[in-house]
Structure 1
Amino acid sequence: MKLINTTDAVGHVLCHDITQIIPGVTKDAVFRKGHIVTEEDIPVLLSVGKEHLYVWEKDENMLHENEAAQILYEVCKNEHMSPTPVKEGKIELIADVDGVFKVDVERLEAVNSLDDIMIATRHNNFPVKKGDKLAGTRIIPLVIEKERMEQVRQVAGDKPLLALLPYQKKKVGIVTTGSEVYHGRIKDAFGPVIRDKLAEYDAQVLGQTIVDDNQEMITGAIRSWLDQGADMVVCTGGMSVDPDDLTPSSIKALGGEIVTYGAPVLPGAMFLLSYVNGNIPVMGLPGCVMYAARTIFDLVLPRVMAGEQLTKKDLVKLGHGGLCLGCKPCHYPYCSFGKGE
């Protein structure tokens, strides 16, 4: 491309969009890349402050910003996401389904470390809805060396930088522990909260079993839901260190893998995650889930509903950003809670 005076541009081909900004009215291109400038265009170009223009000179060693944006999109794209039309050298990726958005942060940072390259995304593990914007890509200059874009491909590797895991329709059993609820001394307040949270992911609640503070009863109730085809069991109550709180030991008695009893998140430190029969999550929820707007359960549930099998390391990472500030009104997930990565 070359730089010329706007008054000398008649007959030349624009190599970039010309944007007009009128605050509160419009921000759009008055002329698109590829437009051949006419005599009538000159006053319009001058009115938007363009006294000089870049016009296209084809160079086999260079790529236009739109072509480069397409390459950046290609290293990002994955299933369940679609691109917007390229505009002013930018392509955005849009969610095709509800699910959990995943970012390979280390490789994203490596790509963004290259000069003149930018890919901006939502946070890793962000719960998104169909139609949400996931990422945007573009280069900084108007044109860039082909060699640089080949370097982008090499640094990014063969695997897409982004992924979107759709929510799975899971069948869930609820087990509520506590002598005070079992004997009818107080009304259960935990069940409705859990049902509401599961409804956000269109889960099928098979039912709720209320049991006494008895290990055999708790373990038996969990096994019963598993036998009835539950893909997940959520246990409420009995999660502290009091002598009558037997939910953790009852879950351990199932013989599954205990990923963690305790998590670096507030509210939610006494959370327990285990897997039975290899991949069926059985969770023990602390009392805070019943009364706090957002807790450890809200950080873990989307990922579990998307079919992700969490590890101890996944839970440890939640400590950075794992302090809920209890804002009123609550803005989760559009806040810092759980966004440490």
Structure 2
Amino acid sequence: MNRSNPKPSGSAVKRIGESVLREVKVEDAVGMALAHDLTQILPGSFKGRLFRKGHRVTEEDIPKLKDIGKEHLFVLELAAGDLHEDDAALRMAVALGGDHTSRTEPHEGKVTLKSTITGLASISKEIVDRINGLGEIALATVTGGRVVHPGEAVAATRAIPLIVPEAKVAEVERIAADYREREGAWPIAVKPFRKMRAGLLTTGSEVYSGRIVDRFGPAVAKKLEELGSEVAEQRFAPDDRQTIVNEILYLLNEGYDMILVTGGMSVDPDDRTPGAIADAGTEIVSYGTPMLPGSMLLFGYLRGVPIFGLPGCVMHDPYTSFDVLLPRVLAGETIVREDIVRMGYGGLHR
């Protein structure tokens, strides 16, 4: 359906509630304001807005209008309590979009909210569901908790009909305001990443002795660098539980913002890393996640410092449980057991 040409069937006047959409000949529309955007399509080269909603038609516009097949135009006479689709979409976007987001101009009843930074998308699913339950309006978003980059869309508001009751949009504004008051945050926002310095401990006698080249360090360092952080120091330990404990405590005492321990994370009897992380005094949030790849990941806090035990898949798989939790830690979120449990839904990436 071409929403830029909502021609009423069999009548020059279409009533939408108390509002009126009136059809007039192009030649008679001079001086009148357009009720909606008009789109021009040049196959293979251009599709875009020729005239904006509210544009007042001039004599010079008539040939251009006829070139896009317009013999008639529509003038909208809004009743009290009604909103045009563009105004409705804009008001919803203003109410919902907060920190580190920008808005596009309304176009055909839609406004897109975009990220202005590289950060973590923060989306309230509760608010999205409530708004979409109102009818006649729509809110589409990306999944919360994912990394977004400057210029990337995080949400879009949409008016479904050309005319929307203002009360409907006012309800969206009320829902958004209540959420902000209750949560102290916007329903749609992007959280910036902190620059964190991580201490990395690579375990495994085969790496410690130099028999094989370490591949874990470069893979982990790359993931941190892509999000604005760094591995400040990397150390190595053999498969000795007490040595691993000592090295973890060394990294803690150096004051790093995060500790990453790689290798020896399976349930094999000779894998010492999980026990060593616990022996160091870590409050373990979870050993194991309901996500593949990355089910053997350990996460916890050691005297308030986030600590990861990273399974081997982090070296070679592009997206694992580490890629889900690391951005949340960098955004300053505290990870709890319930966060880990929820990773199973949509957590199969093989």
**Cα drift, residue 196 of structure 1:** 1.6
Distance of aligned partners of 1:55 and 1:301 in 2 relative to their CA distance in 1, 3 Å threshold:
same
Matches within 5 A, 1:25-64: 25-64=45-84
Determine whether 1:287 maps to 2:316.
no
Q: Distance in 2 between matches of 1:18 and 1:290?
A: 52
Q: Which moved more, 1:304-313 or 1:180-189?
A: 180-189
Partner residue of 1:127 out of 134, 140, 147: 147
Query: Is the CA contact (8 Å cut-off) linking 2:146 and 2:324 kept in structure 1?
Result: no
Give the alignment of 1:56-205 within 5 angstroms.
56-156=76-176, 157-159=178-180, 160-205=186-231
- Match for residue 5 of structure 1 among 15, 21, 24: 24
Indicate yes or no: 2:297 matched with 1:267.
no
Cα distance, 1:111 vs structure 2: 0.4
> Share of identical aligned residues, percent?
44
**1:90-114 Cα distance to aligned partner (Å, 9 max, x none):** 3222212111112111210210122
What is the CA distance between 1:263 and its match in structure 2? Answer: 0.8
The one-letter amino acid of 1:293's match is P
Deviation of 1:60 (Å):
2.5
Which runs of structure 2 are paired with 1:7-22 in the superposition (5 Å)?
7=26, 8-22=28-42
> Which of these residues, 200, 221, 235, is aligned with residue 209 of structure 1?
235
Shift of 1:43: 4.2
Letter in 1 for 2:21: K
Match of 2:261 in 1: 235
Distance 2:39 2:317 in 1: 47
CA 204–291 in structure 1, closer or farther in 2 if over 3 Å, else same: closer
Alpha carbons of 1:141 and 1:191: their partners in 2 closer, same or farther (altered >3 Å)? same
Q: CA deviation at 1:50?
A: 3.4
Task: Report the counterpart of residue 325 of structure 2 in structure 1.
Answer: 300
Cα distance in 1 for partners of 2:223, 2:167 equals: 49
Query: Could you report, residue by residue, the CA deviation over 1:26-74 in whole angstroms, capped at 9, with x for unpaired residues?
Result: 2222221222223443443344233443213243311222221221112
1:314 aligned onto 2:334: no
Deviations 1:209-235 (A, max 9, x none): 111222221111111111111110110
How many residues align? The count is 324
Partners of 1:158 and 1:188 lie apart in 2 by 48
Query: By how many angstroms is 1:262 displaced?
Result: 0.6
Q: Check whether the contact 1:6–1:42 (CA below 8 A) recurs between aligned residues.
A: no
Letter paired with 1:45 = L
TM-score by length of structure 1 reads 0.89
RMSD over aligned CA atoms reads: 1.8
Rounded to whole Å, the distance in 2 between the matches of 1:39 and 1:190 is 69
8 Å contact kept, 2:123–2:188: yes
Q: TM-score, normalised by structure 2?
A: 0.87
